[in-house]
Structure 1
Amino acid sequence: MAAAGPERPWPWQEAAALAGAVRGALGPRGGRALLLRPTGEAMATRDGRRLLEALSAEPPAARVMAARACSHRAATGDGAKSFALLLAAVLGGLRAAGGGAGLRRALRAFEAQVLERAAARGLRRHVLPEPLLEALLEPYLAGRLGPGERRCLARLCAEMCRRCAPAAAARPQVLRLLGRRFAELHAAVPGLPLASSRLLPGIVLRRDFAVYCPTDGPLRALLVTEPLRPALTAPGVEFVVASEGQYQASLRWITDRTEALMKRLQSNNVKLLLSSAKQEEVVIYYAKLYGVSVVECLSADEMALIREITGVSPYTPLGDNTDREITETAVVTFCQPLVLVSKRCVHIGFSSACAFQPHCLILCAPVDAVNEQHAAAVQEAFTMLQQLFKTIHLREEWEAEGESQSKTLDVCTWHSSATQKQLVIENTCSNNQVSECQLKALGDETERKVLDPDKSDLLVHSQKNHSTPVLVACNTDTVTACESLDVGKNLEKTRCHTFPFKQESCAGIAQDYANCLIEAGSVLPVGGYFEILLHYYIQDYAKQCQQSEVIIVSNIVADALLSIPKALYQTAKRDGFTKFYLETINLLKKNQPLPVNNEGLESVYCKYQLVISVLHCVTELLSIDLVIGVRRPLQKIEDHDSEDDC
């Protein structure tokens, strides 16, 4: 037992209070909290970020914890409630162990010496291949929304991802754009049930046409950011009118120049004007006269989205030179008005210049507050899906060690014998859901099984009735059943996945695999499997440590991880967690695969980052020696030193 350190502010009580506030809303069986906004509006929610923000915690340590939880949620799209629970459990364990300076120093050593090894050499063997989108989205939304809401929104999210990124290799880039631009890629419609929500091609601008001139077939659109009415003089230059005749002549000049511009637009097949500025009446008049539709007062974000989709820069007339050549126009496939309940909008289809194919999500809900929750959940779901494409590598100080042990940990050698070929065929073709598979020769000594790309979505649920693990080898030039999201498809070397128990990899990637802590696309069944697996392997690898403080910290973190599945099962049947824990540990001791349940999957990257974020927050909190309350902002202190003072 480590000796107790000097007295310092101990944040365990604040952490326990935050954990108690969110514990009841954790998981699909969690309840909802009723939040009252300053406006008097009531909103029922299970969102961890909203709950933590609504608490308005006064103690400085509690505010730091809530801010770190929300920061983790913003970065990964998930984990605010789990962050609070795990943080409280770790701090409680350190407090019970004495909380000495040795334990605080051991936290950083634990991450490098135990946690990473437990993840790389233990946890990684159990991860599953890349899943269907719905398998990730439904359990994710289950912690935020009701059963009917989560199924509908999971279907819409998956459909939007697939339509916006028809090429699976482009999905990481498209998901980033969906997360950044979701406010412009959806339209909220209150007063209708969620089932009325739908996905539309193109984008919906939530404003009406200033001028609408119907047209058939593709057309061209011009982007402008300033009024097109020619100015009589440059900014800052005075224009003097000596008589009424000069004034009328000036107006005729402006009218003629505006008409000439609209004629040029018409001759260049520019039938749509998208403007972030309010246009003058003379521009609107001649636009209507020459068949040019006008949408004005677009926001900066809407203009940025259109530029990102089309790759077109805005047109800027130089002074009174409206005859400048129009070189950049966007190709529009359709342009029409759209009525959403009582609001008139503009529906535009663009020919995309990038991998992103624009689609807009029409979100319906009975009231605005519910629609706001649904929109936030969908946007954060896209952020969560981005994490599936990320990889965590080992620390440099023990990469060499990982490489030297790759043969015993992660390498398998395939011999092209008739017996083994027959075994692979039996293990992979017996399921009725996968109707076609073949053995593809890759060299003289290697055989790999490649599934039909058109049936790539069938693998995730195809092994529920089989006890024999299926070996799936992925080649960089083929799309296999385990790559429905195409995570890591562009890797230089091939991969070998084991379903549902991932133990081995092909010899060609031994070095890369040994240097990888969490592979892209790694998932596990939801419901506490990640926490129990990491708990088991942390305790296992902690036995190899020589430092007593690291062993203590390892046991504290391992026990703290169980606080999350305990909270998940607290509303289930009696002794539900105990039964689940013992069954899982028994499978691990027997080296058997974990069962694949029907509740869905979760990203291993997100869960591992949660543990890292909590440990860093603990280190930050325990490094505080003094809390100073400041009642007013600090005044800026000017440095008046000069060379004469030296």
Structure 2
Amino acid sequence: MAAAGPERPRLWQEAAALAGAVRGALGPRGGRALLLRPTGEALATRDGRRLLEALSAEPPAARVMAARACSHRAATGDGAKSFVLLLAAVLGGLRAAGGGAGLRRALRAFEAQVLERAAARGLRRHLLPEPLPEALLEALLEPYLAGRLGPGERRCLARLCAEMCRRCAPAAAARPQVLRLLGRRFAELHAAVPGLPLASSRLLPGVVLRRDFAVYCPADGQLRALLVTEPLRPALTAPGVEFVVDSEGQYQASLRWITDRTEALMKRLQSNNVKLLLSSVKQEEVVIYYAKLYGVSVVECLSAEEMALIREITGVSPYTPFGDNMDREIAETAVVTFCQPLLLVSKRCVHIGLSSVCAFQPHCLILCGPVDAVNEQHAAAVQEAFTMLQQLFKTIHQREGWKAEGESQRKALDVCTWHSSATQKQLVIEDACNSNQVSECQLKALSDETERKVLDPDKSDLLVHNQKNHSTPVLVACNTDRVTACECLDIDKGPEKTCCHTYPFKQEENCAGIAQDDANCLIQAGSVLPVGGYFEILLHYYIQDYAKECQQSEVIIVSNIVADALLSIPKALYQTAERNGFTKFYLETINLLQKNQPLPVNDEGLESVYCKYQLVISVLHCVTELLSIDLVIGIRRPLQKIEDHDSEDDS
């Protein structure tokens, strides 16, 4: 079955339905949704990603919207609910304007001609780009967690997150690198303890390995640890070589040889002050026996992730079994400051202190909660908070094109000739018979789309589903003109590397020089604003201001649509506040801008401007992608493979 591409009213209805499902959970005053998992377990949450996953939206365009929101959330650690709200507002504005392909092309021109100017010449004058004092870490973390957790939970976790940042990165210059490690390895850097209140959570130095000792031999002072990924029991022969035993005597002699070699290895470890074996495999009984005899503690069956974390901290490679070379030096050992058992309620763990060779100083978060589901929710919030903090150290650079007015006008004309009509983007969708549907009260506007079901249009995106066995493949046949964020903006991947995929910036090893160049910078590293809607109102104000300089009517229309759509986020934030709360807040802020006065500093905290600006860019690209879909094809059954057989008639 084939159908025309998603009509603009239909896109708006689906986006509005998704926005209605998440609007009530936005901001610190938002409510919680009670999610029932297939196992029967209930979870109260305000997390946007979880809400979108639970909806299991069925129409193709709705699932693309939810997937893009979750992709943005995975990249920046924030903004899934705001993404959906802003997307619905932009699509609604385009629907009301009744525009066609001209407005679609004007979206790209708007980004180059208006949005970047509004950020660089207007928004930037209100930002706070100075490095944040240590005390302001909590000012960023608490409002971030307020959109996911309750008041008591967010204060406790914000304090723990800030403390973990400070302890793991005592030097402020090392914080970007450490935050990347915390976000990537947080699963190995925390231990969940159910049955205790959150207030019992604490931060411990070192690393907690969630398994017990196979052998524990107490040792005082500094000692050395050996990493192994293979059995230490010597083999009688090389792999692939047959070993024949003719008699019982030969067999017993072979066992004695193995025993002697194992004992000799343990003696060598003892003489090298190696008192700890960290093994990713289970060792033989003879190894355990002699380890205990010579005072070597053994921890077995460590996961690949735990071994990778230890290697990253210590810089040590695993030890290779000696073979026939008994005299080979044991060169690479990790320095361990302490090694002791740790009892977490009823589970025995290993607590070790590792001497770090990198900027990261290892600490482990013991995260307590009443049940496992709450612990899982808290751990996800903390890990994403570290992802959000990484964005604080990134810089967005403006286009080279509009530094000189003449060059700007030429490139603006080039941008306005951007077309996607040369090729047709098609979504080919295969039906999923048992996929979960959104309830009528949540997505009433989607009820007429049940004959079309979306599958994964981009395997790199996080699609919305809550049962793995219901996912089916999506085929996307397109030659698209989609523009990614990295193509439109020069975005730093970190403080030591600059992304220059599209525009001819000079590569620099030290990004400090680039970040200090005001002529190139849209958003400086460390830029923050007071939380609570100031970013949206500022950008709304300056977009309307700079749109007046544009000579193209379609770009002006798009500018007004985006400017008005930005206000949908603070409107949702203040919907549960006092009567006319948004109107009062909006008028007070606009009055300050018109009088050129500084914004007031509130007690609610700060937010990263990088994340907010990236949200706007991601939504604009999602709108462009949705509007460029020309055809949706629903497939009732899998396509049959057609084999090409050679024929005698072929010449």
> Structure 1 length as normaliser, TM-score?
0.82
Task: Give, in angstroms, the shift of residue 59 of structure 1.
Answer: 0.3
Q: Residues 5, 544 of structure 1: CA spacing in aligned structure 2 closer, same or farther, 3 A cutoff?
A: farther
Which of 573-582 and 487-496 deviates more?
A: 487-496
Q: Secondary structure at the match of 2:500?
A: strand
Distance 1:57 1:218, change over 3 A: same
Could you say what secondary structure the match of 1:336 adopts? strand
Is the Cα contact below 8 Å between 2:109 and 2:416 reproduced in 1? Answer: no
1:264-285 Cα distance to aligned partner (Å, 9 max, x none): 0000000000000000000000
Instruction: Say if 1:637 and 1:461 are closer, same or farther in 2 by CA, change over 3 A.
Output: closer
Equivalence map 1:171-250=2 (5 Å): 171-250=175-254
For residues 103 and 423 of structure 2, the distance between their equivalents in structure 1, rounded to whole angstroms, comes to 55
Q: After alignment, is 18-27 or 493-502 more displaced? A: 493-502
Are the equivalent residues in 2 in contact too, given 1:156–1:199 (CA < 8 A)? Answer: yes
Q: Offset of 1:10 from its aligned partner?
A: 3.5
Contact 2:60 2:452 (8 Å CA) reproduced = no
Inter-partner Cα distance in structure 1 for 2:416 and 2:312: 45
Displacement of 1:512 in angstroms is 1.2
Distance 1:451 1:630 in 2: 11
Aligned-residue offset at 1:554: 0.4
Paired residues of 2:495 and 2:510 also in contact (CA < 8 A): no
Query: CA separation in 2, counterparts of 1:640 and 1:433?
Result: 43
Contact 2:17 2:443 in 1 (8 A): no
Aligned pair in 2 of structure 1 residues 632, 197: CA closer, same or farther (>3 Å)? farther
- In structure 1, the partner of 2:107 is 107
Offset from partner CA, 1:66-111 (integer Å, 9 cap, x none): 0000000000000000000000000000011113110011001000
1:327 shift after superposition: 0.8
Mapped contact 2:5–2:632 kept (Cα < 8 A): no
**1:373 and 1:30, CA in 2 relative to 1: closer, same or farther beyond 3 A?**
same
> Does the CA-based 8 Å contact 1:138-1:600 persist in structure 2?
yes
* RMSD across aligned positions (CA): 18.0
Give the stretch that moved more between structures: 240-249 or 4-13: 4-13
Q: Which moved more, 1:355-364 or 1:426-435?
A: 426-435
Determine if contact 2:76/2:611 at 8 Å carries over to the other structure.
Answer: yes
Q: Aligned partners of 2:486 and 2:11: how far apart in 1?
A: 45
Change (3 A) 1:454 1:317: closer
- Per-residue CA distance 1:406-442 (angstroms, 9 max, x = gap): 9999999999999999999999999999999999999
Q: Does residue 518 of structure 2 align to residue 521 of structure 1?
A: no
- Residue 234 of structure 1: SS of its match in structure 2? coil
CA shift, 1:632, in A, is 4.5
Q: Please list the CA deviations of residues 151-193 of structure 1 after superposition, one character each: whole Å capped at 9, or x if unmatched.
A: 1100000000010001100000000000000000000000001
Q: Is the 8 A contact 2:106 2:416 kept in 1?
A: no
Alpha carbons of structure 1 residues 302 and 510: separation in structure 2 relative to 1, 3 Å: closer
Contact 1:335 1:349 in 2 (8 A): yes
Residue correspondences, number: 646
Shift of 1:630: 2.9
Q: Judge which range, 8-17 or 95-104, deviates more.
A: 8-17
**Pairwise CA distance, 1:329:** 0.4
What is the alpha-carbon distance in structure 1 between the residues aligned to residue 53 and residue 318 of structure 2? 40
Between 1:404-413 and 1:435-444, the stretch displaced more is: 435-444
Q: Say which is worse superposed, 554-563 or 413-422, in terms of deviation.
A: 413-422
Compare 256-265 and 6-15 and name the one that shifted more.
Answer: 6-15
Contact 2:174–2:359 at 8 Å: present in 1 too? yes
Q: CA deviation at 1:240?
A: 1.2
**Residue pair 2:194, 2:369 contacting (<8 A) in 1 also:** yes
Paired residues of 1:165 and 1:171 also in contact (CA < 8 A): yes
CA deviation vs aligned residue, 1:84-140 (integer Å, no higher than 9, x gap): 000000000001111311001100100000000000000000011446511100000
State how far apart, in whole Å, the 2-side matches of 1:331 and 1:438 are: 56
Cα–Cα, structure 1 residues 580 and 109, in superposed 2: closer, same or farther, change >3 Å?
A: same
Q: Is the 8 A contact 1:120 1:518 kept in 2?
A: yes
**Deviation readout 1:318-367 (Å, 9 max, x if unpaired):** 54445432110000000000000000000000000100000000000011
Q: Which residue number corresponds to residue 139 of structure 1? A: 143
CA contact (8 A) 1:228 1:279 kept: yes
Distance between the aligned counterparts of 2:38 and 2:463, measured in 1? Answer: 49
Q: Given the superposition, is the C-alpha separation of residues 638 and 206 from structure 1 closer, same or farther in structure 2, using an over 3 Å criterion?
A: farther
- TM-score normalised by the chain length of structure 2: 0.81
Q: Are the structure 2 counterparts of residues 297 and 322 from structure 1 closer, same or farther at C-alpha, using a change threshold of 3 Å?
A: farther
- Shift in CA distance, 166/118, structure 1 to aligned 2, threshold 3 Å: same
Q: 1:610 to 1:591 in 2, by over 3 A?
A: same
Q: Distance in 1 between matches of 2:633 and 2:445?
A: 69
> Structure 1 residues 278 and 587 mapped into 2: Cα distance closer, same or farther (>3 Å)?
same
1:474 CA drift (Å): 50
Between the aligned partners of 1:577 and 1:121, the Cα distance in structure 2 is 26
Task: Report the CA distance shift for 1:335/1:5 in structure 2 as closer, same or farther (over 3 A).
Answer: closer
- Listed one character per residue, the Cα deviations across residues 180-230 of structure 1 (whole Å, up to 9, x for unaligned) are 000000000000011100000000000000000000000000000010001
Question: CA, structure 1 residues 134+633, in 2 after alignment: closer, same or farther (shift >3 Å)?
Answer: farther
- Give the Å deviation of 1:557: 0.3
Do the aligned partners of 1:190 and 1:366 also contact (CA within 8 Å) in 2? yes
Go from structure 1 to structure 2 and tell me whether the alpha carbon gap of 1:594 and 1:466 turns closer, same or farther (over 3 Å shift): farther
* Contact preservation (8 Å) 2:108, 2:416: no
2:531–2:604 Cα contact (<8 Å) kept:
yes
2:444 maps to which of 440, 443, 448: 440
Please give the per-residue CA displacement for 1:37-64, whole angstroms capped at 9, x wherever unaligned. Answer: 0100000000000000010010000100
Q: Give the C-alpha shift of residue 317 in structure 1.
A: 1.4
Q: Cα gap change, 1:462/1:232 in structure 2, threshold over 3 Å: closer, same or farther?
A: closer
1:62–1:87 CA distance, 2 compared to 1 (3 A): same
Give 1:398 shift. 1.5
- The residue aligned with 2:625 is 620
SS at match of 1:362: strand
In structure 1, distance between residues paired with 2:505 and 2:110: 27
2:22–2:81 contact (8 Å) kept in structure 1: yes
Taking the aligned partners of 2:436 and 2:4, their CA distance within structure 1 comes to 62
C-alpha distance in structure 2 between counterparts of 1:465 and 1:408, whole Å = 48
Per-residue CA deviations over 1:530-552 (Å, capped at 9, x if unaligned) read: 00000000000011111110000
Q: Which residue of 1 aligns with 2:554?
A: 549
Stretch of structure 1 that moved more, 30-39 or 316-325: 316-325
Distance 1:594 1:358 in 2: 39
Tell me what 1:72 maps to. Answer: 72
1:151 aligned residue: 155
C-alpha distance in structure 2 between counterparts of 1:388 and 1:5, whole Å: 39
The SS at the match of 2:276 is strand
Q: RCO (CA 8 Å, sep 6+): is it higher in 1 or 2?
A: 2
Residue 304 of structure 1 deviates from its aligned partner by: 0.2
Structure 2 gaps, min length 5: none
CA 500–68 in structure 1, closer or farther in 2 if over 3 Å, else same: closer
